[in-house]
Structure 1
Amino acid sequence: MLKIINGTIITPGEIIHGGSIVIDNGKIVALSNAPIDLPCEEVIDARGLYVAPGFIDMHVHGGGGYDFMDGTVEAFLGIAETHVRYGTTAMYPTTLTSEVSDLFATLDSYKEANRQNSRGAQLMGMHLEGPYFALSQRGAQDPKYIRNPDPAEYEKILDYSDDIVRWSAAPELPGAIEFGRYVRSKGKVLALAHTDAVYEEVLEGFNNGYTLATHFYSAMSGVTRRNAFRYAGAIEAGYLIDEMDVEAIADGIHLPAPLLKLICKIKGPDRVALVTDAMRGAGMPEGESILGNIHTGLKVIIEDGVAKLPDRSGFAGSVATADRLVRTMINDAGVPLQEAVKMMTQNPARIMGVNATKGELAAGKDADIVLFDAQVNIRMTMVAGDIKHRVEIEDRIPG
C-alpha cells in the first residue's frame, strides 16, 4: 500500500486541502480531507502540491523524436515514456493517412508495445485518423493516401485488429454515413475530421454516430458559400449541436486565447476535451523534424512552439504536452483550475468510455495520479499505482 498525504486534491466536486489518498494494488482505496490511519509501505508527502487525476490524451501522434507511424515497438515505448513526464497517464496512439500495409505494421507494433510497456503512459487503444478525408481540408496529411470510404477496406481493417477504439473521418464523403454506422456497430468511437461538410451534413453525420469533432477548428469548414447561398460549416455545427463533444489543441497557437474562450463559453466545461495532437517534436528541441513515418514522412520545421510546413505557410502539427494544455487553459483562456483539469481527465474518459475506471480521483478508480505545482509543472506521475516519473518534491504551496 502507498499513501499520499498533505495534498491539494482536485476532485470533480471540490478541492481538498491537506487531503490524503491511499492506494493498493493499483487502485485508489481511500480518499479523505484528513489523515487516513492505514499502514502503508510508502508515504509520499505532497507538501501542498496539487494532486489530480492522470491526464488522458485521446489524440497523440508522437513525441521524444518518435512517431507512431514509424511502425516500431521502440517508437511506441519512446512516445509513452516521453509524455508520462508531462502528466499523461493514458494515451490513444493516433495514425496518419497511409497505405493499409503500413497501418497494419503500426497495429502490430502497438500490440507488442502494449505487452512491453512498463515505463510510460498506458496505451489505451488505437485511434485511426483517416484516410477518409476531404482533400480540400487535408492539412498536413499526405494527399496521395486520401480516399473515400470503401467497405472492403474498412471492414478488413477492423477485422485485422481489436485494438482500434476510435476512427476519425469526414462525414460528407460518399459512403461516409454507411462507414459511420459500421464503425459504431463495432463499438468504436466515431469522430468527424478534415471535413468540408456544411451544417446539414454534419447533423446527418451526428445522427449516425459522428459525435466528436476532431481538433476543433483545425482542418474544418466554417461559414461558406455554395451557388451564392451562405451555409454554416462544421465549426458552426459543432457549436449548434449541444451534444457534440469537441477536441481542443490548447497550445495557444493552433487555438489562440480568444478562440479557446469562445469554445468554452459556448460548449461549456463538460463538452471540451484537451488533446495534444503532438507529433514527434514534442519534448524535443526546436529545428527540423518529420511528420509521420521517419523514412517517408513530411519534413517540417519546429519553431515558436509549433510544427510548421517547410514554407511556413501553415501548421504541420503540435508539439504540445498535456501540462502545457492545462496551463494554457488557465493562463490564457481564464478557465478555473478544476475545469481545465476536467477537460484533460474526466471528459476524455467519458468520451472514450473508460470513465468507470479513469478520469477522477475516487475510491475504486485506477490510481492514475499526477502531482503538480501552481504553474502546472509536473512533479510526479503515477500509472496504476506505479510511479513512472518523479522529481524532487520541495516545500511549495500552490498559490
Structure 2
Amino acid sequence: MTALAATLAGARLVLPTGVVEDGRLAFSGSTITAIGGPAVPGELDLTGCTVVPGFVDLHVHGGGGASYASGVAEEALTAARTHLEHGTTTTMASTVTAEIDEVCRQAAVLSELVEDGVLAGVHFEGPFISPGRCGAHRPDLLRDPDPALVRKLVDAARGTAKMVTLAPELPGGLESVRLLADLGVVAAVGHTDSDYAKTLEAIEAGATVATHLFNAMPGIQHRAPGPIIALLEDERVTVELINDGTHLHPSVLDLAYGTAGADRVALITDAMGAAGMGDGLYPLGPLQVRVENGVARLVEGGSIAGSTLTLDVAFQRSVLINGLTLEQTVRSISGRPAELLGLADTVGSLEVGKNADLVVLDSDTFELVAVVRRGEWIKGAERFTRAG
C-alpha cells in the first residue's frame, strides 16, 4: 500500500508539549504536515482513540517465528513485519552469540535491510560477554572483547552498527568501549559481572546504555552496589527495561523510573522468534528455546531466553500496571530510543515535518487499534469512518 494523505480528528494526541484532547493531525505522503487546525472534509473520526508516535525498539532478536540471527533476509523481514504490526515502526536487529565469522555474515545480510529502510541498525549482543552471566548465549562461543574483533564486527555491518553489548570487566573491555565511542557506536554494558568501580570506569570510557538493566548482571547489595547502581545514578546512561511481567517485578521497574526518570529509560522487548506466536520450540541462534505460557526459556538449563513481548503490550502494562503517564511512556518507548539512535529528527515524537509513524490505541484499554508507518496504513484503517 502506498502512502496517502489523511487527517485524523477527534483523538487524544500525546505531543512533546503534553496531551491534547480532541486533537487533529494531518499527514501527506510519509510526513506529518499539520497538528491542530480547522476541520476538513473527509477527515477520519478517531473519537475514543489515543494517537502516539510509532514505537522504537533498541533491542529485539526476532518475531513471527523468525530470527535476525538466522542471517536470512526473508526471516528478518518476517520479524520486522511482526513487530511493525504491534506498533514498532523503527526497529533494530539484535544478534546473539555465534562464531565471529558467522555474526559477520549475519551483519552483512542485515545491513542491506538497513540500507533499504526496513531496519534502523544492527545491535551486537555477544560474544563479548561474561561466561557467568551469559543467559541464552552459548558459553563455548564467548570471546573477550578484543578491540580488533569488535572492530571486525562493526566493519561487517558496513556503517549500520548502532550498538554493541559487552562486559567491561573482561580483558579488552574498556579499550573496546573507547573504540566504540570513537566510531560513533553505542557501547552498552550488559551480561556482565562488573562491580561498581569497573562500571564507573566503563561509563567514563564512553558506555551510554545498560542492556536490559537488572537482568544478566549482579544484584544490588548494601556493601557491594554492583553495576546496577552505577548505571542508574549516572545521567549519561540510558537504561533498557523489559516490561513483560517476567523479567522485572513491577516494583523494580518503578524503582528504575524513580531513579533514572523517563528521559533515561528505553522500554525494549528483547523479543525472540516466538513474539507474536504461540507456545512451542524455537531457535535462538544456535540454541533451542521452549516457550510455555508466553515465557521463553532455554531447553538446556532453563535460563530465560529473551521474551515474547511486543511493545504495544509494554505500553499497556506501563500505563495500567505501573501507573506511568502517557507522556512518560511515550518518552521511554519512542522519544529516548530515537535520540539514542540519532534518529530524533525524523521519528520518536508527533511533530510537523517528522515521519508519519503513528500508533492508535484505545483510550480506555490502551489496546492497539491501528498502525501507520511513513504514511502507510499497516493495519486498522478500516476501523474509522470519514466525516462528510
TM class, shorter-chain normalised? over 0.9
Deviations 1:153-192 (A, max 9, x none): 2222222321111111111111111111111111111111
CA distance, structure 2, for counterparts of residue 318 and residue 248 of structure 1: 12
5+ residue gaps, structure 2, are none
Other-structure match for 1:319: 308
CA distance, structure 2, for counterparts of residue 251 and residue 6 of structure 1: 31
Contact 1:27 1:363 in 2 (8 A): yes
Residue from 385, 388, 395 that aligns with 2:378: 388
CA distance, structure 1, for counterparts of residue 22 and residue 233 of structure 2: 42
Deviations 1:220-268 (A, max 9, x none): 122469xxxx422111212222332100001111011111111111111
Other-structure match for 1:140: 136
Contact 1:171 1:210 in 2 (8 A): no
Is the aligned partner of 1:171 residue 2:174? Answer: no
Other-structure match for 1:58: 58
The aligned length equals: 379
Is the aligned partner of 1:14 residue 2:18? Answer: yes
Other-structure match for 1:149: 145
5+ residue gaps, structure 1, are none
Identity %: 35
CA distance, structure 2, for counterparts of residue 217 and residue 340 of structure 1: 20
Other-structure match for 2:159: 162
CA distance, structure 2, for counterparts of residue 224 and residue 172 of structure 1: 19
CA distance, structure 2, for counterparts of residue 351 and residue 302 of structure 1: 31
Residue from 244, 252, 258 that aligns with 1:259: 252
Task: State the 1:15 CA deviation.
Answer: 1.4
Residue from 298, 318, 323 that aligns with 2:287: 298
Q: For the structure 1 residues 6 and 312, does the alpha-carbon distance in structure 2 shift closer, same or farther, using more than 3 Å as the test? A: farther
Give the aligned residue type for 1:17: E
Task: State the 1:301 CA deviation.
Answer: 1.5
SS in 1 for 2:188: strand
Contact 1:214 1:246 in 2 (8 A): yes
Moved more, 237-246 or 279-288: 237-246
Residue from 364, 367, 375 that aligns with 1:377: 367
Contact 1:62 1:282 in 2 (8 A): yes
Is the aligned partner of 1:339 residue 2:325? Answer: no
Contact 1:6 1:46 in 2 (8 A): yes
Is the aligned partner of 1:275 residue 2:275? Answer: no
**So what's the TM-score if we normalise by structure 2?**
0.92
Contact 1:89 1:368 in 2 (8 A): yes
Task: State the 1:198 CA deviation.
Answer: 0.7
CA distance, structure 2, for counterparts of residue 267 and residue 154 of structure 1: 29
**So what's the TM-score if we normalise by structure 1?**
0.90
Is the aligned partner of 1:35 residue 2:38? Answer: yes
Moved more, 358-367 or 375-384: 375-384
CA distance, structure 1, for counterparts of residue 111 and residue 185 of structure 2: 18
RMSD: 1.9
Task: State the 1:304 CA deviation.
Answer: 2.8
Moved more, 369-378 or 49-58: 369-378
CA distance, structure 2, for counterparts of residue 394 and residue 366 of structure 1: 21
SS in 2 for 1:210: coil
Contact 2:56 2:88 in 1 (8 A): yes
Q: For the structure 1 residues 27 and 91, does the alpha-carbon distance in structure 2 shift closer, same or farther, using more than 3 Å as the test? A: same
Contact 2:27 2:34 in 1 (8 A): yes
CA distance, structure 1, for counterparts of residue 171 and residue 301 of structure 2: 33
CA distance, structure 1, for counterparts of residue 370 and residue 220 of structure 2: 44
Contact 1:86 1:323 in 2 (8 A): yes
CA distance, structure 1, for counterparts of residue 220 and residue 351 of structure 2: 43
Task: State the 1:283 CA deviation.
Answer: 0.3
Is the aligned partner of 1:131 residue 2:135? Answer: no
Other-structure match for 2:211: 214
Is the aligned partner of 1:23 residue 2:18? Answer: no
Contact 1:2 1:43 in 2 (8 A): yes
Contact 1:371 1:381 in 2 (8 A): yes
Deviations 1:346-389 (A, max 9, x none): 11112222111111001111111111113222221111111122
Is the aligned partner of 1:352 residue 2:341? Answer: yes
SS in 1 for 2:11: strand
Other-structure match for 2:181: 184
